Amino acid sequence: MSVTRRELITGAAAGATGLVVGGVLGKTLGGDDGGGGGGDSGLSGQAEAVAKARDLNSENVTRAVKTFVPPGAKPGDKNADEFFLFSSGGHSGQILVIGVPSMRLLKVIGVFAPEPWQGHGYGADSSDSVIKAGTDSKNKPSSAARGPLTWGDTHHPALSETKGEYDGRFVYINDRANGRIAMVDLRDFKTKQILDVPNLDSSHGGVFCTPNTEYVHISTMSPTLVDPSKAEKALETFKDSFRGYSTFLKVDQKTGKMDLAQSFQVELPPYTQDLADSGKLSSEGWVFINSYNSEMASGGNLTGGKPIEVGASANDFDYMHIINWKKAETVVGSKSKVMNGMRVIPLETAVAEGILYLAPEPKSPHGVDVHPGGNYISVGGKLDPHVTIYGFDKIKAAIDGKQFEKNDPFGVPILKLDAVRAGSVEVGLGPLHTQYDDKGYGYISLFLDSAVAKFSVGEPYFKGADAFKLVDKLPVHYNIGHLVAMEGDTVKPAGKYLVALNKWSIDRFPVVGTLKPQNFQLVDLTGEKMEILTDMPIGIGEPHYVQGIRADRIKAWEVYPVGTNPLTMEKDPNAIADKGEKIQRTGSTVEIWSTVRRSQFKPDNISVKQGDKVIIHLTNIETTPDATHGFSIPRYNVNVSLDPGEAATVEFTADAKGAFAFYCTEFCSALHLEMQGWLLVS
Ligand code: RUQ
Ligand code: CUA
């Protein structure tokens, strides 16, 4: 139930909600909202005075009340955050976790970039090994990366699903820059795997989970040069030298990890494959990937060639790729070749086996988003003011009836647009991405208009002339890219809220230097008209996609069972209990087993010789939530977070001579400052 502005101001809803802003506020702030009526109280007088002193009008107060989460609100309370956003952190390489409707930043999860606060990539084996394994040059046609890579451009988070609904187990996210993908376990919100995806040099929007997380999908963005020894003439022979790859990474249901041995790719033409989405319900078993630059333009603007953006938008149509992955699964065992450790179904095979089809998409398409019912697929063409809606029933019929316009230059059949289009809606300039609510509406971002358009999306909610219609439009601030409606890309959207991910904030926040924050705007979807509730500056990275999940689907751990290694989520063989502490020297290796608790490391004196290999096993033996300790060694670039119960191992060569005062980096107790020790390297 939502409280309207009028109810709030007049106090009509006060009885039901216990909200007593009351009549005085109404009178003072009333304006066009009118005023008067409703119960008056001491609280209303106070609220009125505060609102007046802070120059807040009734609309501001209503919005504040809709988003305010009182201190101490417990998950599940009516006044607590009902949803979490999992947001890409863009070129910060991280994931951001944000509460809705409060729009409070709850966590930054270190993924591709080392993150000292969590000890991600600063000496602990459990994270260092993940970052290191994430740069695997054997997987790429191009030669060795100058790794390990320590940053990523996170773009598209994909929450794991069961029967097309988020299940709160894992979240995957891609690195746009380096063609990689990572997995975060939502039991402890930590990165467990970074996979350098074979044959992918880059990847943009092609990330999603299939409806039961059988696979997580990722595709190329810029196509890959298959034989790097041909780099010199590669752009002149673009059509033959480059290929795209649609990748299905098999997910281990217990650990969430992706298993290359059971994964496969479908080879694609060297267009720029962009956003992608999974079929669901009636379209389950299929995936849809749009593309641009079917012109295969490669630039050359200094030597008389067309700039890439001109060459790449010359054609009126690009192509949606329609892939039957259930069919591909049956073919991959016998008809694939192995390339850089990955089974690949060649393009000709994909065509011959009926695995790959194309459908025309208007002018520089970007988003492709499957409707909760599974039948409709919305595509925004950046240079076309319409959203084009395809019907999967029509696509199936067109494939069965061989309604092809022609083949593309690689022999892939192109379906007739008229045969597969279910409708189109003129929405405005620069349509990009669509999300859905629980009432049959779609919401599409309009980059050039800086707006969100709401439109009806066919059956079962809308029929006949109402089937595909623009119903509302809301200006946002500014240059919106993605948008997210709560659970808005699942089979059961939650509606209620939408967040606009605006690339520019211009005048919305105080000037904090020349690099400005992005702007997340929370939009209320419960009324007839969409309404902005609040702005949230994003001061880290440039988020691309975000998914919004019901908070109660996440079952995160508060503490680890004592001795847990976060990488395996099992007891670490080197974890020790109280009194198990020891130091052991074998040749030039010194191995230390240390307990960590409020307020000491034991042992607190470690003496080694210069050049020794030092291995320190740390076990935080605390079981109290939040009793986290840090372990840092100055000058050795070591900073480990030891959450309650966590076990970690730090290994290094003691090459710097001196006395190094290691210390706890978390203010854990009254004697936190005393929680230190000495590493002597002589
Ligand atoms: S994208 S702003 Cu990087 Cu998903 Cu469309
Ligand atoms: Cu332990 Cu501070």
Amino acid sitting at position 85: L
What pLDDT does residue 44 have? 78
| Whole-angstrom distance, CA of residue 609 vs CA of residue 251 | 45
pTM of model > 0.85: yes
Q: Which atom of ligand 1 is nearest to the CA of 205?
A: 4
- List the one residue out of 169, 162, 214 whose CA is nearest residue 189: 169
| Whole-angstrom distance, CA of residue 315 vs CA of residue 410 | 17
- List the one residue out of 300, 183, 203, 188 whose CA is nearest residue 244: 203
Name residue, tokens 């192509």: 319
Q: Which atom of ligand 2 is nearest to the CA of 598?
A: 1
C-alpha triplet 140, 142, 145: angle, nearest 5°: 80
Strands (DSSP E) found in 562-627: 564-565, 570-571, 582-586, 589-597, 600-602, 605-608, 613-620
Tokens representing 27 are 């009178």
Least trusted range by pLDDT, from 17-21, 493-497, 512-516: 17-21
Q: Which atom of ligand 2 is nearest to the CA of 599?
A: 1
Q: Is 204 in the pocket of ligand 1 (CB under 6 A)?
A: yes
In this prediction, residues 400-415 reach a mean pLDDT of 98
Amino acid sitting at position 14: A
Ligand found nearest the CA of 382: 1
C-alpha triplet 333, 337, 343: angle, nearest 5°: 65
Q: Is 545 in the pocket of ligand 1 (CB under 6 A)?
A: yes
Q: 248: exposed, middle or buried (C-beta count within 10 Å: 0-12, 13-18, 19+)?
A: buried
Confidence of residue 147 (pLDDT cuts 50, 70, 90): confident
Q: Are strands 180-185 and 165-175 parallel, antiparallel or unpaired?
A: antiparallel
Ligand found nearest the CA of 87: 1
Long-range contacts of residues 467-474, Cβ cutoff 8 Å, at least 24 apart: 467/423, 468/389, 468/422, 468/423, 468/424, 468/425, 469/425, 470/425, 470/426, 470/427, 471/441, 472/528, 472/529, 472/530, 473/427, 473/428, 473/449, 474/523, 474/529, 474/530, 474/531, 474/532
Confidence of residue 330 (pLDDT cuts 50, 70, 90): very high
| Whole-angstrom distance, CA of residue 1 vs CA of residue 426 | 32
Dihedral sign from CA coordinates of 330, 334, 335, 341: positive
pLDDT at residue 11 greater than cutoff 90: no
What pLDDT does residue 142 have? 79
| Whole-angstrom distance, CA of residue 15 vs CA of residue 28 | 21
Q: What are phi and psi of 42, to 5 degrees?
A: -55, -40
The predicted-structure confidence for 24-67, as pLDDT tens digits, reads as follows 344 334 333 333 333 344 557 898 999 999 999 999 999 999 99
Q: Is 482 in the pocket of ligand 1 (CB under 6 A)?
A: yes
- List the one residue out of 564, 563, 543 whose CA is nearest residue 499: 543
Q: 235: exposed, middle or buried (C-beta count within 10 Å: 0-12, 13-18, 19+)?
A: middle
Portion of the chain with pLDDT greater than 70, in percent: 93
pLDDT top residue among 600 and 143: 600
Per-domain boundaries in the chain: 5-67, 83-113+151-297+318-553, 564-681
Architecture of domain 564-681: Sandwich (2.60)
What pLDDT does residue 37 have? 36
Nearest residue CA, atom 1 of ligand 1?
544
Tokens representing 26 are 């109404």
Confidence of residue 356 (pLDDT cuts 50, 70, 90): very high
CB 577 within 8 A of CB 621: yes
The predicted-structure confidence for 457-472, as pLDDT tens digits, reads as follows 999 999 999 999 999 9
- Alpha carbon of 543 to ligand 1 centroid (Å): 9
Please provide the average confidence, as pLDDT, over all residues in the chain. 92
Ligand found nearest the CA of 662: 2
The predicted-structure confidence for 208-222, as pLDDT tens digits, reads as follows 999 999 999 999 999
In this prediction, residues 284-313 reach a mean pLDDT of 94
Q: Is 436 in the pocket of ligand 1 (CB under 6 A)?
A: no
What pLDDT does residue 45 have? 86
Tokens representing 65 are 């009340």
CATH number for the domain formed by residue range(s) 83-113+151-297+318-553: 2.130.10.10
What pLDDT does residue 43 have? 59
What pLDDT does residue 85 have? 98
Q: Which atom of ligand 1 is nearest to the CA of 447?
A: 2
What pLDDT does residue 28 have? 38
Q: Are strands 105-109 and 95-100 parallel, antiparallel or unpaired?
A: antiparallel
What pLDDT does residue 632 have? 98
Portion of the chain with pLDDT greater than 90, in percent: 89
In this prediction, residues 443-447 reach a mean pLDDT of 98
Q: Is 223 in the pocket of ligand 1 (CB under 6 A)?
A: no
The predicted-structure confidence for 426-440, as pLDDT tens digits, reads as follows 999 999 999 999 999
- Alpha carbon of 88 to ligand 1 centroid (Å): 11
Nearest residue CA, atom 2 of ligand 1?
481
- List the one residue out of 507, 509, 487 whose CA is nearest residue 496: 487
Per the DSSP assignment, residues forming a β-bridge with 421 are 390
In this prediction, residues 117-139 reach a mean pLDDT of 93
